């Protein structure tokens, strides 16, 4: 009886591990692209891969967190390129298939300083908990500086958090803005080495910490989860 119970326990553990295993992967969860104002269509690219030997149905859902008025975005998946109003679709991936996902930032009026932060969530339709979020950051160099943007290498910790966070490798940051996913700014901080950035008073949920350099240019967007 004891042996049977042990076997059942191991079987349950194995089943849980199998269910928890990811069925697909993406090549990056943060994509940062410079978008010069004279380029009307700038692309951000990732690769998505089916990690199984079965066909998987993947849904993507786009959330535009912030975008300059007059600009738009559109998504191209493995099937089609969709018009800007389309914010969610599904596509099938064949066993072990890889393919490109492209986020387009459209600035047809060549607006100087145009920028966008766009969140693209992927989930397996048959396993909704199997999901990943990719954040696309499009930054247009300002006309008053020719300096390159800082490298997007900062990390936030702890993440998830219950109250706030620190930043590592964020020496180039001068301002930290915390945005809700609907684009509202819920907090703004002057970046300081070793500073603790409090989220006290904010509801549990997902936020974006947007780092800006000394010229006020966003150069990285870090997803934060407050529990």
Q: What is the pLDDT of residues 102-148, one digit of tens each?
A: 999 999 999 988 999 999 999 999 998 999 999 999 988 764 555 77
Q: Give the tokens for residue 2.
A: 């004891």
Q: Work out the pLDDT band at 18, boundaries 50, 70, 90.
A: very low
Q: Give the tokens for residue 184.
A: 């509202």
Pairing assessment for the beta strands 164-168 and 41-50 based on DSSP bridges: unpaired
Quick: pLDDT tens for 75-110. Answer: 999 999 999 999 999 999 999 999 999 999 999 999
Q: Is the pLDDT of residue 19 over 50?
A: no
Whole-model pTM: value is 0.80
Q: Is 14 left (phi over 0), alpha (psi -120 to 50) or beta?
A: alpha
Q: Compute how many other C-beta atoms are within 10 angstroms of the C-beta atom of residue 106.
A: 18
d(CA 65, CA 43): 17
The pLDDT of residue 148? 77
Q: Work out the pLDDT band at 168, boundaries 50, 70, 90.
A: very high
The pLDDT of residue 137? 93
- What is the residue whose two structure tokens read 């990719």? 134
Of 134 and 219, the one with more pLDDT: 134
Q: Work out the pLDDT band at 8, boundaries 50, 70, 90.
A: very low
The pLDDT of residue 5? 40
Quick: pLDDT tens for 147-162. Answer: 777 888 999 999 999 9
Q: Which residues of 180-212 are buried (b: 16+ CB within 10 A; e: fewer)?
A: bbeeeeebebebeeebebebeebeeeebbbbbb
Mean pLDDT value across the chain:
89
Q: Is the pLDDT of residue 3 over 80?
A: no
The pLDDT of residue 113? 86
Q: Work out the pLDDT band at 217, boundaries 50, 70, 90.
A: confident
Q: Give the tokens for residue 171.
A: 């020496």
The pLDDT of residue 146? 58
Quick: pLDDT tens for 175-209. Answer: 999 999 888 999 999 999 999 999 999 999 999 99
């Amino acid at each position: 009886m004891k042996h049977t119970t042990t076997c059942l326990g191991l079987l349950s553990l194995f089943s849980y591990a199998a269910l928890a295993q990811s069925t697909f992967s993406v090549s990056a969860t943060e994509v940062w692209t410079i978008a010069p104002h004279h380029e009307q269509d700038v692309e951000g690219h990732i690769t998505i891969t089916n990690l199984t030997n079965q066909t998987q149905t993947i849904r993507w859902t786009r959330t535009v967190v912030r975008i300059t008025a007059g600009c738009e975005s559109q998504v191209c998946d493995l099937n089609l390129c969709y018009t800007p109003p389309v914010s969610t679709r599904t596509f099938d991936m064949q066993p072990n298939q890889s393919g490109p996902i492209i986020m387009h930032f459209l600035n047809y009026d060549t607006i100087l300083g145009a920028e966008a932060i766009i969140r693209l969530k992927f989930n397996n339709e048959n396993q909704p908990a199997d999901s990943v979020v990719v954040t696309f950051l499009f930054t247009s160099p300002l006309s008053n500086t020719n300096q390159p943007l800082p490298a997007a290498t900062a990390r936030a910790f702890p993440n998830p958090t219950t109250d706030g966070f620190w930043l590592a490798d964020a020496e180039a940051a001068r301002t930290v803005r915390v945005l809700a996913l609907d684009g509202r700014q819920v907090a703004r901080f002057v970046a300081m080495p070793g500073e603790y950035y409090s989220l006290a008073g904010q509801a549990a949920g997902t936020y974006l910490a947007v780092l800006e350099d000394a010229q006020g240019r966003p150069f990285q967007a870090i997803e934060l989860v407050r529990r």
